[in-house]
Structures are given as C-alpha cells and as structure tokens.
Amino acid sequence: MVTSEATLEELASGDYPWKDDALALVESVPVIEITEEAIAIAELYVRHHVMPAPRSGDPLHLALASLHEVDYILTWTIQHLANPNKLEHITVINRRLGLLTPIIVTPEALWSEGDL
C-alpha cells in the first residue's frame, strides 16, 4: 500500500468526522512525491477530457498512480475516477504514454460487508 503527497494534502485539508483516523491510517505508508512529470500527465488528462480540472485533484491522483505502477486506486470519487465509462479513455491515454492503468475501485467494491 502507498499513498501520495496529493492524498495527504487532501486528507489534511478536509473537514470530516474521521479525519484523525484517516491520517493515522496512512501515517506509516510510503508516500509518492508529486513531480513535474506527474503534473504534466495530469494536465494531459484534463486537456483530453479524461478528468476535469483542477489538475491537482483526480487527474493528479491518476497520474501519480499510473507513473508509479500502483495496482489499485481506492476512491470515493465515482463521477470521475471510479467511473466505468471513463476507464477506456484512461486506458487509451495511458497506453499512448506507455503507462499502466491502475484498477480504480470504491471501498465498497473492494471489500464486501463480511470483510470489514
């Protein structure tokens, strides 16, 4: 399991009841740094309408995971990241860039109730 600087920034800036638990969960997880290459790929996703602006949100999460060959992205963002209709577009762009496409799932899809 890994996380990214982008995810840590989102977790830290959010206002939600389980914030301390979320930050504690990723406290000892390796962190992927935001790079110029990742930002450029995120901008490409936005230009090609794979993900909406700003590039610092979902496009950056996808770029970092793709660059670092992360197997899964776990997200609540169904409209953009975990949208099955976007998967083909993401895969085409990533293939052109020579990147693997992570499997993008919601927590509900990854774990059934019996697993929790």
pLDDT in tens, 90-113: 999 999 999 999 998 887 777 754
pLDDT digits (tens, 9 = 90+) for 47-78: 999 888 876 688 999 999 999 999 999 887 77
Q: What is the pLDDT of residue 112?
A: 58
Backbone angles phi, psi at 105, to 5 degrees: -135, 155
Q: What is the CATH number of the domain that holds 87?
A: 3.40.50
Total-model pTM: 0.84
Number of domains in the chain: 1
**Which DSSP symbol is given to 60?**
H
Angstrom distance (rounded) from CA 3 to CA 88 = 24
Range of the domain at 70: 3-115
